[in-house]
Amino acid sequence: MTPRRVSLAVTQTVRTVALLLSVGIGLSAGALFLQYGAGDGLQSMDWIRSALIILSTFWLAWGAIQGLIGLAFLRTPAEQPAWMRGEGPAVQGMTAILVPVYNEEPMTVFARVAAMDASLAALGVQDRFHFAVLSDTRKEDVAAQERAWFLRLVKERGAEGRMFYRRRASNPGKKAGNIEDFFQRSGGAYDYALILDADSLMEGATILEMARRVEADPRMGLLQSLPKVIEAESRFGRAMQFSASFFSPAFAQGLGVMQGRTGPFWGHNAMVRVRAFVESCGLPVLAGEPPFGGHILSHDYVEAALLARAGWTVRLDEDLEGSFEEGPENIVDHAKRDRRWCQGNLQHSRLVMAPGLKPWSRFVFIQGILAYIAPLFWLGFIAASIAAIVLAPRPDYFPNPYDQLFPIFPHNDAAKAVELAIGIFGLLFLPKLMIGIQAGQSGRARGFGGGATALRSTIVELLFSSVIAPVMLMFQTRSVMQVLFGLDSGWPTNNRGDGTLGIQEAWAASKWIAFTGLAGLIFVWWLTPPLVAWLLPVGLPMLFAPQIISWSSKKSGEPAFGAYKLFTVPTEIAPSPVILAWKHVIASWSEPQAPVPVAEPVLAHA
Amino acid sequence: MTVEGDIVKSEADLVGESLFALPAAPMVMPRQVLERQHTLVARLAGLFGGARVGKAGN
């Protein structure tokens, strides 16, 4: 893909049209539902359900339109851009590559650093890029391993003076505080900083190109790349990996068109101009206790908004290939991460009215909040539909006391409900199907195992995401409720290892969902058996949540037919050189060797 | 949009442990104002009560 820059006028027009269309589709869905509800006379529950349908459909339509806009602008380059071969002007500024770690597995993390450094060295630019491992690790045994592996890394890469390790004495502010601490002590030595996560991996050419782009635009405060998920092995992980690689570029392109100079920051795989970040992104501690008070949890969104407020450009360049991360391997790990993000996004409700923010930044906060409360609208709709049956008045077949011969039956407008359901499923599926068709036509599908494999993967992903949706909905609902009732998520370490879950572990994590599903189905069956059939698409996945979680956490098998596995992605067919280099380093470091001496840290004072 | 005097270090002077110490090149990272001092309700109350409303600030 090539970067597509659009003018401010186009950005504002697209934003306005997208918003109006989404609102229009939402209102139409609400009106259609009212027509359906009017069949037996409009009750209060019909109005409530109509309002919930408006909100839910608006949210779905907004996502779908973003994907379709992106699709309209998506381009597949005929050949590899020159910058991916390292070609381009030299970079004058110095860049710090920040690798925050927190109780991570040190060898894997430092192997990524070695691979990225080798990738930069292959371009002959390693002297312009320093690595700073910023440890917030609290476990002493892990910290000792970090020191040992870091010494080996520096020795093998000949990187003394280019690689640094620092472990904070305490970790206020978590990751944001860790990064901030670096800028406060050493920021003046660098022009740019590439902020990574412990599981980030980037090609040297991509890092270099990002530095070039930031350097070329003096107003650029932050440049975000679109990281692709790699190394997924489980059924769930591979489905997410395929989704991120196949669908996300179109949605990111749509976001790119609408962002203007107020783009996103996702917390990692992004380069910042140090001066801009330091001047604009000192985060305050919010008054009150977590979850709504205290340190800002989802700091990245806020930092993007603060940079834009100060007049800096924040931009997502979705064409920046060679940017990778890892994802959760099972639904439970996904839900744990989501719990943290949920709290962070809901905390933004306090910042929507922050002084001086760009309107789009405020809208981004609202979007982030909606992403977590929208599922509650669907749950509310289901609950209201059940309540509507309980509260429905008895039908009056003889409304005219002087005409008792011919009963008047309530008008059944079920066709309207079917139309509505088709429309909603259309919003869910249409963008993904269109992306699949575009991939087939443009040749992009070749990277995903060819047209047939890509089509198979698209259809199975749609089915799989539909099956797990009720389980995700329940986890999200619990997260929102926990935050609303004041429970803090803390800062759990991400589980980045093998995420296989046995049925007992899955049962322990999701039995409450299974019981809720069972209770709901029994209750509805007792109330009105015909409604059970309508609820089965939601109720059955809930009932079998433990089985779904355990099954989807298992490693996916070999292809049943064809040369390529389901959910094949380009990085599996032709792995990026930095991925191969990383695996090579891991293989080399995994070989038995003499014990690595544990380095004694230097206790330093400012 | 910063607050005077509310600046710099978020913790004590102890850097922590380091191997190959990072270059010392300190920068001041001023705290940003993200919340209005008064809520909308307080502002409205102030408006109708004739009281002055304070400037934004944490």
DSSP conformational letter for A492: P
* Minimum-distance CB partner of A599 among B12, B19, B56: B19
Q: Could you tell me the pLDDT band of residue A21, with boundaries at 50, 70 and 90?
A: very high
Contact A177 B17 (CB under 8 A): no
Name the residue among B19, B30, B35 with its Cβ closest to that of A282.
B30
Quick check: A606 and B29 CB within 8 A? Answer: no
CA nearest to B55 within chain A: A355
Closest-CA residue to B29 (of B55, B51, B9):
B9
Q: Six-digit token pair at A397?
A: 């077949």
Q: Is the pLDDT of residue B3 over 50?
A: no
Q: Within 13 Å of residue A407, how many CA atoms lie on the same side as its CB?
A: 6
Closest Cβ–Cβ partner in A151, A280, A356 for B19: A151
Contact A186 B23 (CB under 8 A): yes
- Quick one: pLDDT at residue A557? 74
Instruction: Assess contact for A249 and A299: CB atoms under 8 A.
Output: no
pLDDT above 60: residue A581? yes
Whether the predicted pLDDT of B51 surpasses 90: no
- In this structure, which amino acid lies at residue B2? T
Query: How many A×B Cβ pairs under 8 Å?
Result: 151
Q: What is the percent of chain A where pLDDT is above 90?
A: 70
Taking an 8 Å cut-off on Cβ atoms, the answer to whether A286 and B35 are in contact is: yes
pLDDT at A531: 83
State the pLDDT at residue B5: 33
Task: List the single residue in B22, B34, B40 with the smallest CB-CB distance to A132.
Answer: B22
Interchain CB contact of B52 with A (< 8 Å):
no
The verdict on a CB contact (< 8 Å) between B10 and A173 is yes
CA distance A184 to B29: 6
Residue with tokens 């990064």, as numbered in its chain: A179
Residues of B in contact with A310 (CB under 8 A): 1
CB contact under 8 A, B34 and A181: no
Q: Closest approach of chain A CAs to the CA of B52, in angstroms?
A: 18
Nearest chain A residue to B13 by CA distance is: A606
What are the residue ranges of helices labelled H in A404-488? 414-442, 451-484
Q: pLDDT category, A593, cuts 50, 70, 90?
A: low
For residue A20, report the phi and psi dihedrals to the nearest 5 degrees: -65, -45
Residue A169 to residue B11, Cβ atoms within 8 A: yes
* CA A382 – CA A311 distance, rounded (Å): 45
Under an 8 A CB cutoff, do B28 and A184 touch? yes
**Residue from A503, A189, A481, A298 nearest B23 by CA:** A189
A186–B26 CB contact, under 8 Å: yes
Does B20 contact A282 at a Cβ distance shorter than 8 Å? no
| Local structure of residue B55 (DSSP, 8 states) | P
Alpha-helical (H) ranges within A225-265 are: 235-246, 248-259
Q: Would the pLDDT of B45 be above 80?
A: no
- What does the H/E/C string look like for B1-52? CECCCCCCCCCCCEEEEEECCCCCCCCCCCEECCCCCCCHHHHHHHHHHCCC
Instruction: For residue range A126-170, list pLDDT tens digits in order.
Output: 999 999 999 999 999 999 999 999 999 999 999 999 999 999 988
Q: Residue A104 pLDDT more than 90? A: yes
**A497 φ/ψ angles, rounded to the nearest 5 degrees:** -95, -160
Cα-based torsion angle of the residue sequence A579, A582, A583, A584 in order, rounded to the nearest 10 degrees: 120
CA distance to partner chain B, nearest, from residue A486 (Å): 20
- For residues A297 and B54, which has the higher predicted lDDT (pLDDT)? A297
Q: What is the pLDDT of residues A480-530, one digit of tens each?
A: 999 998 877 655 555 545 789 999 999 999 999 999 999 999 999 998 888
Q: Of A471, A475, A474, A489, which is closest to residue A550 (Cα–Cα)? A: A471
Q: Are strands A201-202 and A602-605 parallel, antiparallel or unpaired?
A: unpaired
Check residues A41 and A350 and name the one with the higher pLDDT: A350
Task: Give the model confidence (pLDDT) of A278-293 as tens digits.
Answer: 999 999 999 888 889 9
- What one-character DSSP code corresponds to residue A563? S
The whole-number average pLDDT for the span A60-78 is 87
Q: What pLDDT shows up at residue A44?
A: 85
pLDDT in tens, B13-33: 466 888 998 999 999 999 999
- CB of B21 within 8 Å of any CB in chain A? yes
- Beta-bridge partner residues of A202: A323
Q: Does B48 touch chain A (CB under 8 A)?
A: no
3-state SS, residue A222: strand
Residues 6+ apart with CB under 8 A from A542: A470, A471, A474, A513, A514, A516, A517, A520
Q: Please give the Cα distance from A87 to A486 (Å, whole number).
A: 52
Minimum distance, in Å, between the CA of residue B26 and any CA atom of chain A: 4
- Placement of tokens 């355990």 in the chain: A550
Contacts of A351-355 with C-beta under 8 Å, sequence gap 24+, read A351/A296, A351/A302, A351/A305, A351/B34, A351/B35, A353/B36, A353/B40, A354/A305, A354/B33, A354/B34, A354/B35, A354/B36, A355/B1, A355/B33, A355/B36, A355/B56
Q: Is residue B58 within 8 Å of A286, Cβ to Cβ?
A: no
Confidence category of residue A22, pLDDT binned at 50, 70, 90: very high
- Residue in chain B closest to A303 (alpha carbons) equals B32
Could you tell me the sign of the dihedral formed by the alpha carbons of A245, A251, A256, A257, in that order?
positive
Strand order from edge to edge, sheet including A228-229: A201-202, A323-325, A228-229
Q: Given strand A129-135, what is the order of strands in its sheet?
A: A313-317, A220-225, A270-273, A192-195, A95-101, A129-135, A163-167, B14-19, A602-605
**Which pLDDT score, from 0 to 100, does residue A142 have?**
95
Task: Using CA coordinates, name the residue in chain A closest to B57.
Answer: A355
Site of tokens 């380009």: A570
Torsion angle of alpha carbons A330, A334, A336, A338, nearest 10°?
-170
CB contact under 8 A, A604 and B16: yes
The pLDDT of residue B58 is 28
pLDDT for res A422: 86
The three state secondary structure string of A78-112 is CCCCHHHHCCCCCCCCCEEEEEEECCCCHHHHHHH
**Secondary structure (3-state) at A133:** strand
User: Is residue B29 less than 8 Å (CB to CB) from chain A?
Assistant: yes
SS3 call for A2? coil
Give the model confidence (pLDDT) of A556-573 as tens digits: 877 666 678 899 999 999
pLDDT tier for residue A585 given thresholds of 50, 70 and 90: very high
Q: What is the ipTM of this complex?
A: 0.76
What is the per-residue pLDDT across A369-416, written as a single tens digit (0 to 9) for each? 999 998 889 889 888 888 887 777 666 666 676 766 666 666 666 677
| Residues B25-52, mean pLDDT to the nearest whole number | 69
Chain B residues in contact with A188 by the CB 8 A cut-off are 25-27
Which one-letter amino acid corresponds to residue B42?
A: A
**Chain A CB within 8 Å of residue B37 CB:** no
Query: Is A168–B16 a contact, with Cβ atoms under 8 angstroms apart?
Result: yes
Of the candidates A291, A413, A401, A415, the one whose C-alpha atom is nearest the C-alpha of residue A343 is A291
* Predicted confidence (pLDDT) at residue B8 exceeds the cutoff of 50: no
| Secondary structure (3-state) at A192 | strand
